[in-house]
């Protein structure tokens, strides 16, 4: 079983790792060194020059996701993502994708709790073409019953393939519903099946009109381009769109949690049991935000790879598990999760694995991290993904996600310095703040015993 994050989009763990770019002097390090400007209608624009090949990645991020859906409309953000590939007032359904493919490009989209993104990777000399098409569907999408009903079947089939056919995905969905009492992260991004069936044309059109506007969008272009070259194109296509009105993001607060919960899924399709535990934690935009950098270092120390405490203890020194680790992702508008996962070795039990992880947590809370552990963790984090600068997509995704949740470019660029400034005392304080909570959720995935 993979780690048990509550935002299972294109690998947001990669976003946290991709921010781990280090240099010889982390205090003065920068990450992507982007160029930025804002259009008159409020659309933010970020350019990440990379002239190694004549290719660009073009991304438009909307500051809306499934957590912004109204009650009873779960899945509407993802449903609209599908419909964005249909026709506009000037283009036939499917023409967008066919045009990109004919010109040697690739394109796709994704929906998260907090944002929705559309992206294309294509030759530099075809950038203007995709900008014109993307700007067109920002406000000119044509949504009809003829398009909605067949796409509803596609979404339902996607739900069956990605969730209903995989016990681990079912467990993640059920555990999220248990983890949050009130916050909308408790609903699946793809939506509950019965609410997907009930979504109607009026609701989808209203959601599109409410949230899809330039002032609620971020344009990120990475590759063989400069801000000076991009700005005239951005003004021509995106700048010509009226600003529009966008409502504030209103999210309910999560009430205090004082009781531990346990959820168990038994399924005949499970071949090997797995275990996880998750605690509510602050994010970059919610709660005790000052703890987020220390929590990232804590996750690295406890479960960030083969040198981590959990791996050494449970997999190497006292073989109880095949896999063991920790995870934490602060890129969110609402509360995040700090979690642990493990898979028992053959001949061991879920109870043994749970006891071993609990023992390691208790030992850490009692003794804390050492100065050497913290320094080594910070250096690993700063050095681990230095090659991310070579990727057209990584920088666009990191910066797009950051701006979509309300961070700034400076927040991203200051990541190495902020990680480098984390102290032993901060790591230990963050551990006590998060790992002593009583409202954690334990999830177990078990095989069905043969009769």
Q: Which of 73, 81, 147, 173 is catalytic?
A: 81
Q: Looking at the predicted structure, is the pLDDT value of residue 115 above 60?
A: yes
Domain shared by 279 and 220, yes or no: no
Pair 48, 175 in one domain: yes
Find the CATH number of the domain harbouring 323.
3.30.830.10
In terms of DSSP bridges, do strands 217-223 and 44-49 run parallel, antiparallel, or are they unpaired? parallel
pLDDT given at position 68: 98
Residues 288, 198 share a domain = no
Are 341 and 431 members of one domain?
yes
Give the pLDDT of residue 391: 77
Residue 12 pLDDT greater than 50, yes or no: no
Looking at the predicted structure, is the pLDDT value of residue 21 above 80?
Answer: no
Residue 108 in any domain: the answer is yes
**pLDDT tens figures, 116-127:** 999 999 999 999
Q: Is 439 found in the same domain as 403?
A: yes
Is 196 part of any domain? Answer: yes
Task: For residue 81, indicate whether it is catalytic.
Answer: yes
Averaged confidence pLDDT in the chain: 92
266 and 233: one domain?
Answer: no
Cβ atoms of 142 and 88 within 8 Å: the answer is yes
- Record the pTM: 0.92
Do residues 186 and 180 touch, judged by C-beta distance below 8 A? yes
Phi/psi of residue 55, nearest 5 degrees: -135, 150
Q: Is residue 7 situated within a structural domain?
A: no
Domain that holds residue 93: 42-237
Instruction: Return the pLDDT at 31.
Output: 83
pLDDT digits (tens, 9 = 90+) for 32-55: 999 999 999 999 999 999 999 999
Q: Based on the domain organization, do 232 and 267 belong to the same domain?
A: no
Q: Which of 151, 139, 179, 161 is nearest to 78 (CA)?
A: 151
**Rounded distance, CA 58 to CA 121, Å?**
6
Structural tokens at position 255:
């009430």
pLDDT higher than 90, residue 25: no
Q: Which residue has the tokens 């190694």?
A: 52
pLDDT score recorded for residue 244: 87
Helices within 180-319 (DSSP H only) = 193-198, 201-211, 227-237, 292-303, 309-310
Among 204, 237, 270, which residue terminates a domain? Answer: 237
Q: Which residues contact 60 (CB under 8 A, 6 or more apart)?
A: 117, 118, 119, 134, 138, 217, 218, 219, 220
Which three-class secondary structure state does DSSP give residue 160? helix
* pLDDT for position 80: 98
Task: Note whether 384 and 268 are same-domain residues.
Answer: yes
Return the sign of the alpha-carbon dihedral for residues 80, 110, 328, 378: negative
E strands, 51-206, are 55-62, 106-111, 116-123
Assess whether 272 and 389 both reside in one domain: yes
pLDDT (0 to 100) of residue 84: 98
Determine the Cα–Cα distance for residues 97 and 87; give it in Å rounded to an integer: 11
Q: Is 347 helix (H, G, I), strand (E, B) or coil?
A: coil
Whether residue 10 is contained in a domain is answered as no
* Residue 358 domain flag: yes
Is 249 part of any domain?
A: no
Q: How far apart are CA 258 and CA 240, in angstroms?
A: 52
Residues 162, 168, 169, 171, CA torsion sign: positive
Among 202, 237, 272, give the residue marking a domain's end. 237
Task: List pLDDT tens digits, range 304-353.
Answer: 989 999 999 999 999 999 999 999 999 999 999 999 999 999 999 999 99
Confidence grade of residue 390 (pLDDT, cut at 50, 70, 90): confident
Q: How many domains does the chain have?
A: 2
The span from the CA of 400 to the CA of 46, in Å, is 8
Same domain, residue pair 179 and 328: no
* Per-residue pLDDT tens over the stretch 133-161: 999 999 999 999 999 999 999 999 999 99
Q: Determine the average pLDDT of the residues in 228-241.
A: 98
Per the domain annotation, does 51 fall within a domain?
A: yes
Phi-psi region of 305 (alpha: psi -120 to 50; beta: other; left: phi over 0): left
The continuous run of DSSP H or E covering 278 comes out as: strand 274-281
Question: Percent of the chain at pLDDT above 90?
Answer: 89
Q: Residue 385: what pLDDT?
A: 59
- Give domain status of residue 363, yes or no: yes
Confidence of residue 10 (pLDDT cuts 50, 70, 90): very low
Q: What is the pLDDT of residue 388?
A: 67
Radius of gyration of the chain (CA): 23
Q: Judge if 437 and 294 occupy the same domain.
A: yes
212 and 68 in a common domain = yes
């Amino acid at each position: 079983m993979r780690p048990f994050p509550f935002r299972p989009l294109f690998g947001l763990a990669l976003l946290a790792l991709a921010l781990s770019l280090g240099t010889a002097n982390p205090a003065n390090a920068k990450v992507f060194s982007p160029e930025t400007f804002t259009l008159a209608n409020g659309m933010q624009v970020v350019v990440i020059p990379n002239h190694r090949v004549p290719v660009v990645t073009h991304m438009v991020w909307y500051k809306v996701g499934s957590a912004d859906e109204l009650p009873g409309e779960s899945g509407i953000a993802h449903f609209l993502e599908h419909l964005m590939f249909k026709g506009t007032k000037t283009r036939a359904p499917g023409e967008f994708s066919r045009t990109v493919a004919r010109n040697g490009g690739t394109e796709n989209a994704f929906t998260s709790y907090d944002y929705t993104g559309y992206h294309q990777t294509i030759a530099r000399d075809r950038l203007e073409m995709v900008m014109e098409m993307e700007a067109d569907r920002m406000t000119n999408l044509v949504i009809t019953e003829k398009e909605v009903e067949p796409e509803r079947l596609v979404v339902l089939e996607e739900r069956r393939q990605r969730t209903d056919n995989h016990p681990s995905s079912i467990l993640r969905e059920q555990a999220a519903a248990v983890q949050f009492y009130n916050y909308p992260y408790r609903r699946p991004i793809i939506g509950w099946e019965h609410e997907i069936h009930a979504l109607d044309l009026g609701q989808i059109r209203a959601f599109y009109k409410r949230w899809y506007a330039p002032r609620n969008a971020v344009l990120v272009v990475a590759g063989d381009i400069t801000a000076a070259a991009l700005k005239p194109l951005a003004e021509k296509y995106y700048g010509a769109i009226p600003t529009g009105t966008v409502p504030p993001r209103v999210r309910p607060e999560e009430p205090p949690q004082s009781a531990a919960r346990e959820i168990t899924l038994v399924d005949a399709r499970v071949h090997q049991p797995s275990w996880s535990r998750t605690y509510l934690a602050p994010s970059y935009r919610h709660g005790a935000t000052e703890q987020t950098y220390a929590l990232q270092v804590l996750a690295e120390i406890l479960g960030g790879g083969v040198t981590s405490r959990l791996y050494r203890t449970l997999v190497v020194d006292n073989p109880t598990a095949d896999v063991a680790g920790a995870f934490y992702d602060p890129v969110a508008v609402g509360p995040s999760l700090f979690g642990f996962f493990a898979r028992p070795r053959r001949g061991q039990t879920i109870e043994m694995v749970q006891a071993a992880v609990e023992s390691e947590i208790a030992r850490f809370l009692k003794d804390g991290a050492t100065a050497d552990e913290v320094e080594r963790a910070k250096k690993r984090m700063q050095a681990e993904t230095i090659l991310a600068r070579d990727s057209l997509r990584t920088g666009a995704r990191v910066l797009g996600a950051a701006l979509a949740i309300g961070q700034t470019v400076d927040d991203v660029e200051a990541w190495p310095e902020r990680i480098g400034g984390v102290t032993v005392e901060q790591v230990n304080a963050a551990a006590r703040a998060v790992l002593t909570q009583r409202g954690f959720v334990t999830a177990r995935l078990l095989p069905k015993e043969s009769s």
